[in-house]
C-alpha cells in the first residue's frame, strides 16, 4: 500500500492507553514498512500529561516502544519515526487553548486528521473548539467507540459533530473491520465461485460469531459498570461482523456500496419481542474462578464496580435476518469477559447432506463448517469428512487450513494500521456510517430496556468457563452447540 498523501495526524489523548498500545505502534509499523506514509507526514500529539516535546518523546520511548515490532525494534526506523512527532500541550476543556494547536499545525502540509482517542464526553467540545479556530475545514475526524449510551445519546453526538464536519469527513472506527480475516471473508465470498452459491439458507444451517476474552474489566470498572457487554461489544463489533457475513454482494468495493449492503442487513434484523427476550437473549456476570491456573475475583469485587451491580459481562443472542437469503437461519452471537479462552471467530455451519449412503456420521450437524478466526491467530479453516484409512467406510473430520502468517511471507498488517492508512488516504469503506450505527442501536435498545425493566439479575458463571449454561441450552434447542474445541 504505497501513498504520496501528505498528512498532519493530530492525536488527542496522546498519552492515553489506546495511543500507547495501538495508535502509535500502528503508525510506527506503517513508517517502518517504507512507502506507506509520505515522508512529509507529521504526527502531532495533544495531551496534558507532558509539558513539552522532549518530555513527550521520553514518554513515547518508555511506554510505546515496548508495544512495537514483535521481532525487535529497528533503531534507525524508530529514530526517524520520532522525528515525525510534534507535541502540543493544551487543556481540552478550554476552547481558547486550541489557538495554540492551530498555530502549531497551520504550516504543516497535507490533509489534517484529528483522532479523538478520548472519552466520548469530550467529542463534542473538541469538535466545537476545532471549528472555533477554523480547523474543521479540509480535515477528517476519527471517533472511537463508545459513541453514545443509547440511540438518543448517539444521535446527540452525531448531530453535534455533523453540524461541524460533513459525513464524508467523519470516520467512526471499529477495529474489527480492519482485521485481515474480515477482509479475506469478503475475498472468500465475492472472489470465488466455490462459496458464494452456498452462502444462503438452502445450504447454511446456522452461523456463530464469538468474541471471548480472558481478561476482566481491569482498571475500567467505573466505565464498564455503566456500559455492559451489550453496549460495549454487541451494538458495534458483533453486529458489524454479522453485517459483513450476511451482506449481499456490492456492485463494487467503494465505500458507499459496501456500507449500503451492510445497512440492508442491519435493517433486516428481526425485531425481538420483549416477551421473547428470555428465550433469545442470555446475559451473565462472572464470579470468581481460575484462569490458566490463576485465581481471579468476581466482577462485583472489581475496583470501581458497585457490589450489587446488575451489569452484564456476558451476552449470548439468537438473531434472525428477515430477507430472502437468510430467512430461517439462526445467527448466534456471543461475547464475554473472564471466559475460558481469548478468541474471536466466525463459524459457518453448513447443512448435512440430505441422504447418506456412507452411514450416520455423514448426517451429523457441523460435519461441514467454515471457521474464520480473527484472534489470537488469524486463520480460515474448512472442515469436511474423509474416509479413515483401513477397512470399511469410516468417516472422520479433516480440515484445510489457511494460516496467513505461514502462507504469506510478508508480515500481516494489524487492524489499526490498515484503518489509519485508510483515514489518511480517504477510504471510508471500513468505517461505520451514521445510518448503520442508528440501525444497530434501534435493534439493541428493546433488549436494554427489557433488561432494565425486569430487574432480573444476570446469570452467574464462574471465571474460566464459557459462560452461563443457558447460553448452551439456547443453541441446544436448535440442535447445535458452540464451537469451543478449536486451538
Q: Which residues are annotated as a binding site for NADP(+)?
A: 48, 91-92, 145
Q: Is the peptide bond before 183 cis (omega within 30 degrees of 0)?
A: no
Strand-pair category, 379-387 with 369-375:
antiparallel
Query: Alpha-carbon distance 28 to 330, whole Å?
Result: 42
Query: Alpha-carbon distance 230 to 450, whole Å?
Result: 13
Please choose, from the candidates 62, 99, 101, the residue with its C-alpha nearest in 3D space to the C-alpha of residue 82.
Answer: 62
Please list the residues that pair with 396 across neighbouring strands. 386
Query: Alpha-carbon distance 485 to 221, whole Å?
Result: 31
Strand-pair category, 170-172 with 139-143:
parallel
Cell readout for 114 is 484529528
Query: Alpha-carbon distance 247 to 357, whole Å?
Result: 35
Cβ neighbours around 147 below 10 Å, total? 22
Q: Could you list the active site residues?
A: 237
Residues 6+ apart with CB under 8 A from 213: 335, 336, 337, 338, 339, 342
Query: Alpha-carbon distance 13 to 420, whole Å?
Result: 16
Binding residue ranges for substrate: 175, 179, 213, 232, 337
Cell readout for 143 is 471517533
| DSSP per-residue codes, 60-91 | IIIIIGGGS-TT---HHHHHHHHHHEEEEE--
Query: Alpha-carbon distance 398 to 402, whole Å?
Result: 14
Residues 6+ apart with CB under 8 A from 422: 171, 178, 428, 429, 430, 431
What element of type H or E holds 29?
helix 24-33
Cβ neighbours around 389 below 10 Å, total? 7
Amino acid at each position: 500500500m504505497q501513498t504520496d498523501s501528505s498528512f498532519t495526524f493530530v492525536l488527542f489523548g496522546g498519552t492515553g492507553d489506546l495511543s500507547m498500545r495501538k495508535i502509535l505502534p500502528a503508525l510506527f509499523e506503517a513508517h517502518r514498512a517504507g512507502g506507506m506514509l509520505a515522508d512529509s507526514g507529521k504526527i502531532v500529539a495533544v495531551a496534558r500529561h507532558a509539558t513539552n516535546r522532549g518530555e513527550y518523546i521520553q514518554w513515547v520511548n518508555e511506554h510505546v516502544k515496548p508495544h512495537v515490532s514483535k521481532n525487535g525494534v529497528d533503531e534507525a526506523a524508530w529514530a526517524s519515526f520520532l522525528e515525525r512527532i510534534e507535541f502540543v500541550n493544551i487543556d481540552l476543556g478550554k476552547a481558547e487553548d486550541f489557538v495554540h494547536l492551530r498555530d502549531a499545525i497551520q504550516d504543516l502540509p497535507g490533509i489534517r486528521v484529528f483522532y479523538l482517542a478520548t472519552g466520548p464526553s469530550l467529542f463534542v467540545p473538541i469538535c466545537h473548539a476545532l471549528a472555533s479556530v477554523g480547523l474543521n475545514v479540509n480535515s477528517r475526524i476519527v471517533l472511537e467507540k463508545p459513541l453514545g449510551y443509547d440511540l438518543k445519546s448517539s444521535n446527540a453526538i452525531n448531530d453535534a459533530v455533523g453540524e461541524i464536519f460533513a459525513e464524508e469527513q467523519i470516520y467512526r472506527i471499529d477495529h474489527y473491520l480492519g482485521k485481515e480475516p474480515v477482509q479475506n471473508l469478503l475475498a472468500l465470498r465475492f472472489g470465488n465461485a466455490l462459496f458464494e452459491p452456498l452462502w444462503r439458507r438452502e445450504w447454511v444451517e446456522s452461523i456463530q460469531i464469538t468474541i471471548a476474552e480472558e481478561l476482566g474489566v481491569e482498571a475500567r470498572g467505573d466505565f464498564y459498570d455503566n456500559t455492559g457487554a451489550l453496549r460495549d461489544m454487541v451494538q458495534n463489533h458483533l453486529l458489524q461482523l454479522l453485517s459483513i457475513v450476511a451482506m449481499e454482494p456490492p456492485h463494487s468495493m467503494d465505500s458507499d456500496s459496501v456500507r449500503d449492503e451492510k445497512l440492508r442487513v442491519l435493517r433486516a434484523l428481526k425485531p425481538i419481542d420483549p416477551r421473547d427476550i428470555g428465550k433469545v437473549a442470555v446475559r451473565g456476570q462472572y464470579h470468581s474462578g481460575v484462569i490458566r491456573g490463576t485465581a481471579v475475583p468476581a466482577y462485583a469485587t472489581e475496583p470501581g464496580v458497585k457490589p450489587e451491580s446488575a451489569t452484564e459481562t456476558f451476552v449470548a443472542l439468537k438473531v434472525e435476518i428477515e430477507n430472502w437469503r437468510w430467512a430461517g437461519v439462526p445467527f448466534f452471537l456471543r461475547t464475554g469477559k473472564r471466559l475460558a479462552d481469548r478468541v474471536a471467530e466466525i463459524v459457518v455451519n453448513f447443512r448435512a447432506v440430505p441422504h447418506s449412503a456412507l452411514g450416520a456420521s455423514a448426517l451429523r450437524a457441523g460435519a461441514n463448517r467454515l471457521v474464520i478466526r480473527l484472534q489470537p491467530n488469524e486463520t480460515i479453516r474448512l472442515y469436511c469428512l474423509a474416509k479413515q484409512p483401513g477397512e470399511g467406510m469410516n468417516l472422520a473430520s479433516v480440515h484445510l487450513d489457511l494460516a496467513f502468517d505461514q502462507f504469506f511471507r510478508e508480515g500481516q498488517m494489524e487492524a489499526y494500521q490498515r484503518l489509519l492508512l485508510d483515514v489518511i488516504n480517504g477510504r471510508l469503506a471500513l468505517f461505520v456510517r451514521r445510518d448503520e450505527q442508528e440501525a444497530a442501536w434501534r435493534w439493541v435498545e428493546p433488549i436494554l430496556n427489557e433488561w432494565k425493566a425486569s430487574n432480573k439479575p444476570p446469570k452467574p458463571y464462574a471465571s474460566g468457563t464459557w459462560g452461563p449454561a443457558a447460553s448452551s441450552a439456547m443453541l441446544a434447542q436448535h440442535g447445535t452447540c458452540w464451537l469451543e474445541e478449536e486451538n
